[in-house]
Amino acid sequence: MSYFLEAKQICKSFPGLKALNNVDLKVNQGEILAIVGENGAGKSTLMKILGGVVNPDSGEILLDGQTVNIHSIPQAQKLGIALIHQELNLAENLDVAANIFLGREPRRAGIMRLLDNRIYDRASQIMQELGLNCSPRTLISQLSVGQKQLVEIARALSFQFRILIMDEPTASLSLEESNRLFGIIKALKQKGITILYISHRLKEIEEIADRVMVLRDGVNSGELQKGEIKHEAMVRLMVGRELKQFFHHGHRVERESELILQVKALRYLDNQKPITFDIRPGEIVGMSGLAGSGRTELAETIAGIRPMLAGEVFLKGQKISINSSADAIRAGIFLVPEDRRLHGLVLLASVKDNILLASLNSIGYLGIIPLRGGDALAKAMCDKLAIKTPSLNQQVAVLSGGNQQKVVLAKWLCRKPSIIIFDEPTQGVDVGAKAEIYALMDELAKVGAGILMISSDLEEILHVSDRILVMHHGALAGELTGQDITEESIMHLATGRALAA
Amino acid sequence: MKKLTGLVIFLVVLYVALIIAVPSQGLGLNNYNLAERIGQYGIISLGAGIVIIAGGIDLSIGSVVVLTATACAILLTDRNFGWNPAIAIPVVLAGGAIIGLIHGLLITKMNLPPFMVTLCGLFIYRGVARTISGNMSKGIGNQCLDLRHFFYDNDVFGLPRFLAIYIILAIIAAIFLHFSVYGRYLYAIGGNEKAAKYSGIAVDKYKILSYVLCSTLAAFFGVLFLMKNNAVTPSSDGFFLELYAIAGAVLGGCSLRGGEGTVIGITIGTAIMWILPNLTNMWGVPSELEFIVIGTALLLGAILDEKLRPVSKVT
């Protein structure tokens, strides 16, 4: 039999990354197909291809048995495919109704294409169905994140579609809002609408999916039929992969030493469960969690980039106040940020300038930096970290991901770190450089620094960390040590499930 | 809304101060001149405003004005041309539209920053104007007397013709920006270009449209300038016009971040821009202080705008 929508052998590469590798997707009319996978497994890319946002490198899409070309968003819409994006894409300066109908304003006669005020009535209807209780004339900028998410959903519901793609629609919805959404999804299914549903909340998927398709590292890794859709089964398909060899392990000394960092009852959001944890000298603490669980925000708060709304931070037993990134850096708390090209480096500046950026005060005299000042230090860092660059004056933008990351590290190693927070340290870094970065972490740990490593790469978290903290929904969902550290236990905590006692 | 109310109050205060400052027998004439100026400069503020609302900027307005005025003078009077105004003026306006089209294409298709593209335009068009005029003033002598009479000497219900023209343009612009789908798209693009793109809007097309409208309005201003002054001097006329146009639009509530601004706001902003120097002049403030007054007013406006900005809820 032929499927309603079928994607065959879809491939898509981004620079330095094979996002999708011969992925197949099949779905029947009126079926709710859930697509699950870890961060970066390629789910969103596949959905964007079906929605006309991204064009595949190769592969074929069949709708109703016919090959179709989806090269643009309007084309996808014409075929009846609606996509609700993971990230919010609303014009904050326009009102709710204008956003719902943006790009599909009802036509009225005349060349001026005057706006039709009937959109406000139609918007009201859809908003009521979704339980979005505000006027359709409210500006988007006045809405909360959850409400904005509902507007995104309302956008999709406002036109005639046959296939609805939802990429993490519940990420910022309350339980009540989510339940209402599930009601709508089931009603759509009754009407014969096909639904592709992405979520990290596996419990939701158990509840609503007819079938589950699992992606891992850009390839199909399995499928679950209605009766088999269980939390454990999904997790197994999501994470089960072979382990690689380059992790150093078993070097750590158990020390009952004093804590190097204590974070007590920290909050960076208004109504958030306070976060408390600590790090010992020489310890590598891994932090896991799904995208958007608040790991990066937590790191930025400790590094003084985000305002700390409440809480205390103690460094080597002494309370410190962190009001700015300068405060954190003075205390020896350094952040190696997730987006190194945006936040970690001055891309157009040289390797030397980047390495010395945080140490200029100690190199200069009265604020004047000698022409060759710091050359020796920068050179020493390049040698120590084996940064491959033709010269110290090379623009850092042209270096490989791994070498760029090493430059960011070198910047901090010029100063004496007490705490280094790594946010996705090996994202986009090749295997060789990965091993070198792990070795450096080990070395830092050996000299008594405390390390917090945020990573979405489960393999990395499992093998580099001495202890693992898992975040879920802006709160610490749990802590794992020793024998408790398994991929499954991390995924359980990260997807909002209590561990079995 | 709060912003607009503030602007209206500011305008009223300035106007009352002006009434007090101007001797009563001169008030009528002063009002007339002021209204004419507001109408005239309002045209380019509208153009600047449209571009700013769509998230862009146009620094070339003054040079486009001078180039189109010069070209118009040459087309009307030069021995080789001597065209009928009914042909020459549309050709000049079309020329303005083509300049805008080039800006738009460079910005969208080649991904160049609007600031850079129009800054280059600022230099190039003035250079072209000086070259084609032989760096001399270009007058239109006794040509087009009817047209000049139509544009200048003739009041409409006691309003200067220029203001009447502006009002008509402003009404069209208001319908376009506030009540048509096209305007809605310009706001969406200025507010969040990605959202507009994901909504299936042809973002490039509408950005190009905004530059075309701006340059066409500048060309129209150039024609009117020529009609009013009878001549244009490419080496000295039209300096700073783009800055007045942008200042009027921004003072009237167009945010340089894009996606914000109204026609009524632009109108009030332009009015404030021209009442201010008029008032300081009447107060006997030396004219060299004029720029300080305008600059300070803009700065205060920007500070107030930032303070009044509704804070978006943080995630």
Q: pTM score > 0.80 for this model? A: no
What is the pLDDT averaged over residues A136-153?
87
What size, in residues, is chain B? 315
Q: Determine which helix (DSSP H) or strand (DSSP E) holds A83, and give its type and residue range.
A: strand A81-84
> Which pLDDT band, with edges at 50, 70 and 90, does A249 fall under?
low
Which value does ipTM take for this structure? 0.83
Q: Determine which helix (DSSP H) or strand (DSSP E) holds A125, and give its type and residue range.
A: helix A118-130
Q: For A77, which residue in chain B has the nearest alpha carbon?
A: B200
Q: Determine which helix (DSSP H) or strand (DSSP E) holds A127, and give its type and residue range.
A: helix A118-130
Minimal Cβ distance to A94: which of B182, B191, B314: B191
- % of residues, chain A, pLDDT over 90: 35
CB B277 within 8 A of CB B32: no
CB A210 within 8 A of CB A33: yes
Model pLDDT for residues B125-163, shown as the tens digit of each residue? 999 999 999 999 998 887 778 778 777 776 778 788 889
- Tell me the fold of B2-15+28-306: ABC transporter involved in vitamin B12 uptake, BtuC (1.10.3470)
CATH class of A261-494: alpha beta
Is A427's pLDDT higher than 80?
A: no
Strand B138-139 to A475-481 pairing: unpaired
Contacting A with CB below 8 Å, chain B residues are 175-176, 179-182, 184-185, 187-188, 190-192, 194-201, 259-260, 310, 312-315
DSSP codes of every residue in B148-164? HIIIII--BTTB-HHHH
The minimum CA-CA distance between A72 and chain B, rounded to whole Å, is 8
Judged on CB neighbours under 10 Å (0-12, 13-18, 19+), A304 is buried
Task: Give the type of residue at A152.
Answer: E
- Give contacts of B312 with chain A, Cβ < 8 Å: 92, 141
The minimum CA-CA distance between B247 and chain A, rounded to whole Å, is 21
pLDDT at A112: 65
What do you get for the CA distance between the two ends of chain A, in Å?
46
Is A61's pLDDT higher than 90?
A: yes
Model pLDDT for residues A93-127, shown as the tens digit of each residue? 999 999 999 988 877 666 667 788 888 999 999 99
**What would you measure as the largest C-alpha separation in chain B, in angstroms?**
67
- Give contacts of B197 with chain A, Cβ < 8 Å: 73
- Tell me the fold of A5-40+53-193+203-212: Rossmann fold (3.40.50)
CB A196 within 8 A of CB A27: yes
Cβ contact, residue pair B198, A77, below 8 Å:
no
Minimal Cβ distance to A91: which of B175, B176, B191: B191
Interface probe for A, chosen from B3, B181, B257, B262 (most Cβ of A below 10 Å), is B181
pLDDT at B112: 96
Interface probe for A, chosen from B1, B2, B178, B184 (most Cβ of A below 10 Å), is B184
The two three-digit tokens of residue A107, written as one number = 């036509």
Model pLDDT for residues B161-195, shown as the tens digit of each residue? 889 999 999 999 999 999 999 999 999 999 999 99
Task: Give the type of residue at B157.
Answer: F
Greater confidence (A200 vs A485) lies with A485
Q: How many CB atoms are located within 10 Å of the residue A446 CB? A: 12
> Which pLDDT band, with edges at 50, 70 and 90, does A1 fall under?
low
Cβ contact, residue pair B195, A143, below 8 Å:
no
Is A248's pLDDT higher than 60?
A: no
Greater confidence (A324 vs B302) lies with A324
The minimum CA-CA distance between B240 and chain A, rounded to whole Å, is 30
Q: Determine which helix (DSSP H) or strand (DSSP E) holds A14, and give its type and residue range.
A: strand A5-14
The minimum CA-CA distance between A148 and chain B, rounded to whole Å, is 11
The two three-digit tokens of residue A501, written as one number = 């006692």
**What would you measure as the largest C-alpha separation in chain A, in angstroms?**
79
* Dist CA B121 CA B215 (whole Å): 11
- Give contacts of B185 with chain A, Cβ < 8 Å: 103
Looking at residue A397, what DSSP letter applies? G
Minimal Cβ distance to A105: which of B175, B181, B312: B181
pLDDT at B1: 66
The two three-digit tokens of residue A431, written as one number = 């295997």
What is the pLDDT averaged over residues A209-224?
90
pLDDT at A447: 85
The minimum CA-CA distance between A480 and chain B, rounded to whole Å, is 28
What is the pLDDT averaged over residues B285-314?
76
The minimum CA-CA distance between A264 and chain B, rounded to whole Å, is 22
What is the pLDDT averaged over residues B286-292?
85
Cβ contact, residue pair B195, A77, below 8 Å:
no
pLDDT at B312: 42
Minimal Cβ distance to A92: which of B198, B312, B314: B312
DSSP codes of every residue in chain B? -HHHHHHHHHHHHHHHHHHHHS-HHHHHHHHHHHHHHHHHHHHHHHHHHHHHHTT-----HHHHHHHHHHHHHHHHH-TT----HHHHHHHHHHHHHHHHHHHHHHHHHS---HHHHHHHHHHHHHHHHHHHTTTS-EE-TTTTHHHHIIIII--BTTB-HHHHHHHHHHHHHHHHHHHBHHHHHHHHHHH-HHHHHHTT--HHHHHHHHHHHHHHHHHHHHHHHHHHHSEE-TTTTTTTHHHHHHHHHHHTT--TTSS---HHHHHHHHHHHHHHHHHHHHTT--GGGHHHHHHHHHHHHHHHHHHHSPPPPP-
The two three-digit tokens of residue B23, written as one number = 């001797």
> Which pLDDT band, with edges at 50, 70 and 90, does A252 fall under?
low
The two three-digit tokens of residue A433, written as one number = 């450089």
Cβ contact, residue pair B310, A94, below 8 Å:
no
Model pLDDT for residues A336-356, shown as the tens digit of each residue? 998 888 888 888 889 999 998
Q: Which residues of A359-396 are buried (b: 16+ CB within 10 A; e: fewer)?
A: beeebeeeeeeeeebbeebbeebbeebebebeebebeb
The minimum CA-CA distance between A138 and chain B, rounded to whole Å, is 13
Model pLDDT for residues A379-415, shown as the tens digit of each residue? 999 998 888 888 888 888 878 778 888 999 999 988 8
Domain ranges of chain B: 2-15+28-306
Mean pLDDT of chain A: 85
- Give contacts of A72 with chain B, Cβ < 8 Å: 200
Question: In what side-by-side order are the strands of the sheet with A58-63?
Answer: A17-27, A5-14, A58-63, A66-68
Q: For A99, which residue in chain B has the nearest alpha carbon?
A: B188
> Which pLDDT band, with edges at 50, 70 and 90, does A501 fall under?
very low
What do you get for the CA distance between the two ends of chain B, in Å?
26
Q: Determine which helix (DSSP H) or strand (DSSP E) holds A476, and give its type and residue range.
A: strand A475-481
Domain ranges of chain A: 5-40+53-193+203-212, 261-494
DSSP codes of every residue in A221-232? EEEEEGGG--HH
- Give contacts of B190 with chain A, Cβ < 8 Å: 93
Q: Hunting for tokens 């103690």 — which residue is that?
A: A314
